[in-house]
């Protein structure tokens, strides 16, 4: 989800819409576990930050598959409330602490984190900017793992090139993203493309019933209509151009 240049009411509607979904971006439990498999296991005193955690789909997977404590951070209190309540239900209250904060104003101590995790969220401050700003919070030998929209090819059809360059001009090829990671002070450890079902089955399909209910509730509301139309257009473009772009997991190690 994107939140540029919009009013508070519009932001509230966007949050309400996304709060009805288990995930606010493309991903899956399998993909989170695959990314974790490239990272050396932690001890129980490790500290992980899950930044832009949303309602915490991947946070719970992280808790199940690691030891240590997780600081789960998002800008929106509604998402953090849902995350905290899910984490309580699953018995993770001692391990997961949901906190409302902005990803560009984090207050971790320098060198205090074993791992920074961020699925579908670093674009909010820009991939390079995020990698650079978060670097100091990670301890030597610690890791960063983020997903980011990326081009699969050097050339692509104009329609999709224009769409993403208007929406997120920092979209780039995988090799350029890896090089940005290296330039930000991480050894690129692994990168892999998220499978298609992370978008279709896990992201766009669950939105269909939510869109229906949302449009019923906000009948006649122009912004609500535009929000859903935007989602439908994005899903349509994905179906048409999925050979040319997608989400990529980038895993780096600070040495």
Give whichever of 60 and 160 is closer to ligand SAH, judged by the CB atom: 60
Give whichever of 162 and 205 is closer to ligand SAH, judged by the CB atom: 205
HEC profile of the chain: CCCCCCCHHHHHHHHHHHHCCCCCCCCCHHHHHHHHCCCCCCCCCCEEEEECCCCCHHHHHHHHHCCCEEEEEECCHHHHHHHHHHHHHCCCCCCEEEEECCCCCCCCCCCCEEEEEECCCHHHCCHHHHHHHHHHHEEEEEEEEEEEEEECCCCCCHHHHHHHHHHCCCCEEHHHHHHHHHHCCEEEEEEEECCHHHCHHHHHCCHHHHHHHHHHHCCCCHHHHHHHHHHHHHHHHHHHHCCCEEEEEEEEEEC
Least distance in angstroms from the C-beta of 22 to ligand SAH:
8
Binding site for ligand SAH (CB under 6 A): 1, 3, 23-25, 27, 52-54, 57-58, 73-76, 79, 102-104, 119-121, 124
Least distance in angstroms from the C-beta of 59 to ligand SAH:
8
Least distance in angstroms from the C-beta of 103 to ligand SAH:
4
Give whichever of 90 and 156 is closer to ligand SAH, judged by the CB atom: 90
Least distance in angstroms from the C-beta of 1 to ligand SAH:
5
Least distance in angstroms from the C-beta of 163 to ligand SAH:
19
Give whichever of 23 and 177 is closer to ligand SAH, judged by the CB atom: 23
Give whichever of 80 and 224 is closer to ligand SAH, judged by the CB atom: 80
């Amino acid at each position: 989800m994107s939140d540029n240049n919009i009013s508070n009411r519009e932001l509230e509607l966007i949050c309400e819409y996304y709060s009805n979904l288990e995930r606010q971006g493309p991903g899956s439990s399998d993909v989170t576990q695959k990314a974790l498999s490239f990272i050396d296991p932690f001890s129980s005193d490790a500290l992980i930050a899950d930044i832009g955690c949303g309602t915490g789909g991947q946070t719970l997977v992280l808790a199940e598959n690691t030891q240590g404590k997780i600081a789960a951070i998002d800008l929106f209190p509604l998402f953090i409330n849902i995350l905290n309540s899910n984490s309580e239900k699953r018995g993770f209250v001692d391990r997961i602490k949901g906190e409302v904060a902005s990803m560009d104003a984090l207050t971790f101590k320098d060198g205090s984190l074993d791992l920074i995790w961020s699925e579908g969220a670093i674009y909010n401050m820009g991939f390079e900017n995020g990698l650079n700003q978060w670097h100091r919070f990670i301890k030597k030998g610690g890791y960063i793992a983020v997903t980011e929209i990326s081009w699969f090819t050097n050339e692509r059809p104009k329609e999709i090139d224009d769409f993403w360059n208007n929406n997120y001009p920092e979209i780039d090829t995988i090799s350029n993203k890896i090089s940005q990671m290296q330039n930000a002070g991480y050894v690129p450890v692994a990168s892999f493309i998220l499978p298609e079902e992370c978008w279709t089955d896990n992201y766009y399909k669950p939105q269909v019933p939510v869109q229906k209910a949302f449009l019923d509730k906000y009948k006649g509301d122009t912004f609500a209509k535009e929000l859903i139309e935007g989602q439908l257009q994005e899903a349509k473009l994905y179906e048409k151009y999925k050979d040319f772009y997608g989400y990529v997991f980038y895993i780096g190690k600070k040495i």
